[in-house]
Amino acid sequence: MPRSLTWNHDTIELIDQTKLPQEIDTLSIRTVEDLVAAIKRLSVRGAPALGVAGAYGVAMAARLHDPKTNESAFEGAVTTLRQARPTAVNLALMVDRVAPIARQDPAAALAEAHVIAEEELAASVAMGDLGAALSLELAGDRPLRIMTICNTGSLATVERGTALAVIQTLHERDRLAEALPMETRPLLQGGRLTTWELQQMGAPHRLIVDSAAPFLLARGAADVVLIGADRVAANGDTANKIGSFALALGSRHADVPFIVVAPESTIDMSTATGDDIEIEDRGPDEVTSIRGVPVAPTGTPALNPAFDVTPVSLITALVTETRVVRYHQGQSL
């Protein structure tokens, strides 16, 4: 899998995730405004990838608007970047990490953004190792059937992924019987993106509709459920793609381990519980149409929360790049 986001000669190049799988198109981003637009329309998405994009965005802002000579333009760009997606903590976190460096030394901002990108790659490898070991421990040292939601691979993290990195590691070790990605309405990130990545790695998989997941779990179709995270609160409550809460309820009913895989940067100790996480509503159009084709009468109102919050009581464990937090054994962050 190629990197989904890179810096090349003052340009951020990223795979346009809105075009996959029918078209592999690379966007060349040269302004902060274009980057913010790409983030908002989900051309780049996934909490770790958004963090890397935000880091490179600050470096770009520093090059276009020197903070020492054009402070107002630079600060405006930083604020706009920081607020582009409110639920995923990584975006604001990495913007806040690079911005002070840019204010002191604009040239050093790019070097820090490169460091962040490499940290995410190292984290993906480590999460794959730890998550594979935990899955085999909980479900048995045999080829496993893994259910997952949304997209948590290289497209969401720059390279390898979070939950999908675990699936890739299991596949590489001949311990993956089958991946069961959920389609993930309304934008079908599982159907469009995760299946594409699974095809690229040659992993066995079957796509399922979202509403089938709890029933299939109850029928014993999966050994482990793996999800990513956009924000983990201090108590362990986890915000992730809408549908994750229902998946956790189904896992609890079926007594299937429900594991969150996310980098340490996704943990937000300043957010006490899931009740304090802002949930983005993306408006009715994504629900009432699919890629511009209406599926409901014109003017139909809709609720469209992009994320939900799974309470820690339903989560078996959290896997990061440095540790495994076993909630089911009473451990905490």
Token pair listed for 41: 């329309």
Parallel/antiparallel/unpaired status of strands 267-268 and 289-290: unpaired
Task: Collapse the DSSP code of 214 into the 3-class scheme (helix H, G, I; strand E, B; otherwise coil) and give the result.
Answer: helix
Catalytic residue status for 230: yes
The residue from 210, 223, 230, 268 that is catalytic is: 230
Phi then psi for residue 302, to 5 deg, are: -155, 150
Question: Sign (positive/negative) of CA torsion 159, 165, 167, 173?
Answer: positive
DSSP string, 266-287: GEETTS-SGGGS---B--SHHH
Calculate the dihedral angle through the C-alpha atoms of 116, 28, 43, 4, rounding to the nearest 10 degrees: -50
The number of residues in the chain equals 333
Distance CA(169)–CA(227), nearest Å, equals 15
**Residues designated catalytic:** 230
